[in-house]
Structures are given as structure tokens and as C-alpha cells.
Amino acid sequence: MIRSGDMELQNLPKGDDSVKDLLQTRDDFPALQQSLQGKPLVYLDNAATTQTPRSVIEAIKNFYECHKANVHRGVHQLSIRATKQYEQARSKVQRLLGAKDAHEIVFVRGATEGINLVANSYGLQHLQAGDEVLITEMEHHSNIVPWQMVCEKRGAKLKVAPMNEKGELLVEEYARLLNPKTRMVALAHISNALGTINPVAELTAMAHKQGAVVLIDGAQAVPHMAVDVLDLDCDFYVFSSHKAFGPTGIGALYGKGALLETMQPYQGGGDMISSVTFDKTTYNRLPYKFEAGTPNVAGAIGLGAAIDYLGAIGYDAIAAHEQRLLEYGTRALAAIDGLRIIGTAAAKASVISFVLEGVHPHDIGTIVDQEAIAIRAGHHCAQPTMQHFGVPATARASFAFYNSFEDIDRLVATIHKVQEVFA
């Protein structure tokens, strides 16, 4: 629903036949078929969590219906089948991230737990008083707070590389902050609040020159772009399944094998041991040393199915469609009087954060929800990012490959209604 007379928007390319093919993927997502108060759902909160395709739901259902068992413990057939599927899922994550070996993939609850594991296991072990941990100003709280906690415990200092008014990292400032005291660098691949794509390969190489170890928070990258940890040469990489079309409660930590070997376990319990006496415990080999207790077997299998699903579509098609959505959405929203887009980096993923003059973002979120449009309003667990831009919160529309130009049209039309309500 482009406003009449807006020729610039009307002339924007909406894609070719390959885009139409991609939009057919909507049929694979049961949740996207619903209407709310008689209006078809427009789901634009994909940076918070993505919807789940039927193939993933079926894989989880199949596990519960046919071969639910504990893994690595049973000699019976169900356990053998469950273990096989669980380990196959690990190999799928390995291939997705381009890791050398499946034992470099640790299943965790999500990006947050992956970062906490590294902060507690690697950080506590290696950081000393006076050492520095370098992060960026655009990090999610999950990539700030664990480092603050470990710095406090060890007497290390947390340093923050600033960004500019577009929400781009100031690479020269980052370089200036790196020094031989920097033991650890933790960076978002893509900012959840701004959409900025950081040049993480370059940033990693710079950090390595100073001898620092690098963790990349890939929570917002894996759903949108191919990731190759060997190309990036990062030491650790984390992501969450639920943001990448898989189930909640599961995610993965990649760590270079040699580093993971040197690290103490994060938690103690079943499966992470090799032998236990009251005098001494020896730990299991990688990755089991870091997977204490019964893991989320169904979740891992679901994640494996999500990776298969993503692989069938292909990141090239996903990135091409999402970039068109981003361009279209940016122009359409920026054309609204009084609307300011927060985060205008040259390299951006399909996230548009914005504020509207005279309207609190929560009111925007609530009113568009009445039109069955789901966006997120708030600080997006990135309060320092909000502080940088001098706003308490933003409204955020974030797109996945199943979104359409019509979804954006409906959002834009509803923002006009919001303005009428507050006029």
C-alpha cells in the first residue's frame, strides 16, 4: 500500500521470480498462516525469534513419538538412535559454521549460555588483574554482562570500542584500544538493535596481532548469512537456534579445539566426566566435557532440521531477498514525516530500528499489534546502544526470508495510523 504519488517507492524493484519462490516458503510455517482479530499476521520480529518450519516441528515430534531416550548412556536401541541423531545434529552445525571437527561444537542453551561458558571457563582461567577485555558499544547485554562479571572477579578492565552516528564501529578507535594487555575481544557479528554488520574477519586479525582471543556473537548472523569460522579465524563463535528457524533452548558454541582442550569445564555433572572418585574426577573428552547433564536432545535434532531447511533455500537467495526488503523498508519508513531510523550503517542486515516524533515506541508496538503486526519495541537488551543514540527505546522491524513487500506496506500504512492517533 504505497501512498499515491510516491513514484520513487513504486519504482523500487520488488524482485524477480526467485523472490516469488522464496515467498512460497511462507507455506512451510504454520504460525504464519494465522489471523489475529480477523487480520492476517504480519510477523516482523525475527531478530527476537524466528518462526519454525513444519520440517523442524516434525523432526522434534518424531523424536518424541519414536525414539525418545537419553544419549550416550543407554545400550538399548532407542538410546542408540537418539545418540546418532544428536551427534548428526552436531555434525550439521559443524558444516554450517565450517568448523574443522565436530568435537569443536558444544551444544548450549543459546548464544547467552555460549558466551557465559567462555567468560567463566576461558575468562576466569586466563584473565588476571590489569588485563583488558575489549567489546564494542553496540553489544547485546549477553555480550556485556558476562564480561563485566568476569572482569570484576579478576580485577581486569572492560574497554569499549565506540561507534559513529550511523551505528558503525570506529575501527581506528578499536585499533587504538587494542594493546598487549587485551586478553579477550568479544564482538557482535551483527548488531540486534541496529542491524550493523561488523567486519569481524578484519577485527579478529587485528586482535590476534595483539595476542588476544576473539569471541564472535553470531546470534543475528547465522539466520541471514553464511558463516565460516575458519575464514573468520575467530577463536569462539556462538549462536541461538531459535533465531535461525530452530527450536528454543538450544544453540551452539564453536571453539578452536586447542583452546577448548585447555579450558576447565563450565558445569559438573553426568556425561562430562571420564572417571569419578571422592578424591578426584577426570573429565571427558571434547565436547562432552562441556555438556554436563542430559542435554536438550530434541532441541539439537530440531536445530539439525532447521540447518537442513536453511541449506535447501541457500544463503545467497536469503541474503538477496532480505537486502531488497531492507532497501524497500528503509525507503518506505524514512519517507514518513517525523520518523527517524536508528542505525544506518553502510553494511546492514534486515533490521530497521526507528523512533517516531511524539510517540513512545511501546505505543507504536501496541497499536501496530492491533493490526496483527508483530514488531519489537524496547531497548532490545542493548541499553548502551540506546544511550549512544539518546533514546530510551526504539521500535524495531526485523525481516526474515519469508517476509514480503506487502508486509512492509502494511507496517508503513499502520505507522500512518499511529500518527493520526497521536496527531
Listed in order, strand segments (DSSP E) in 334-385 are 339-342, 351-356, 373-374, 376-378
CB of 277: closest distance to ligand C6P in angstroms? Answer: 36
**Interaction residues for ligand C6P, span 233-252 (CB under 6 A):** 240
Name the segment binding ligand C6P (CB under 6 A); options: 65-73, 108-116, 172-180, 198-206. 108-116
CB of 279: closest distance to ligand C6P in angstroms? Answer: 37
- Residue at 410: amino acid letter: R
Q: Which three cell numbers stand for residue 317?
A: 537467495
C-alpha–C-alpha distance, residues 199 and 246, integer Å: 26
Nearer residue to ligand C6P within complex by CB, 216 or 260: 216
Name the segment binding ligand C6P (CB under 6 A); options: 68-76, 155-163, 373-381, 413-421. 373-381
Please name the residues in contact with 399: beta carbons below 8 A apart, sequence gap of 6 or more.
44, 46, 322, 325, 326, 329, 350, 351, 407, 408
Contact between 220 and ligand C6P (CB under 6 A)?
Answer: yes
Decide: 201 and 232 in contact? Cβ < 8 Å. Answer: yes
Cite the DSSP H helix spans in 293-382.
297-313, 315-334, 361-370
Encode burial over 146-156: b for 16+ CB neighbours within 10 A, e otherwise.
Answer: bbeebbeebeb
Interface pattern 31-70 for ligand C6P (x via CB under 6 A): ----------------xx----------------------
CA angle in degrees (0–180, nearest 5) for 145-146-150: 115
User: Of residues 142, 330, 344, 419, which one binds ligand C6P by CB under 6 A?
Assistant: 142
C-alpha–C-alpha distance, residues 360 and 297, integer Å: 42
Contact between 381 and ligand C6P (CB under 6 A)?
Answer: yes
User: Of residues 111, 135, 306, 359, which one binds ligand C6P by CB under 6 A?
Assistant: 111
To the query of whether residue 66 is one of the catalytic residues in this protein, the response is no
Q: Which three cell numbers stand for residue 50?
A: 524466528
Contact between 296 and ligand C6P (CB under 6 A)?
Answer: no
Nearer residue to ligand C6P within complex by CB, 398 or 414: 398
Alpha-carbon separation of residue 406 from 80, 284, 289, 309, 332 (angstroms)? 47, 52, 48, 24, 12
CB of 302: closest distance to ligand C6P in angstroms? Answer: 14
Name the segment binding ligand C6P (CB under 6 A); options: 51-59, 172-180, 215-223, 266-274. 215-223
Contact between 110 and ligand C6P (CB under 6 A)?
Answer: yes
**Interaction residues for ligand C6P, span 164-203 (CB under 6 A):** 188, 192
Nearer residue to ligand C6P within complex by CB, 72 or 141: 141
Indicate the SS3 state at residue 403. Answer: coil
Which residues are annotated as catalytic? Answer: 381
* Site residues, ligand C6P (CB under 6 A): 47-48, 110-112, 140, 142-143, 188, 192, 217, 219-220, 240, 376, 380-381
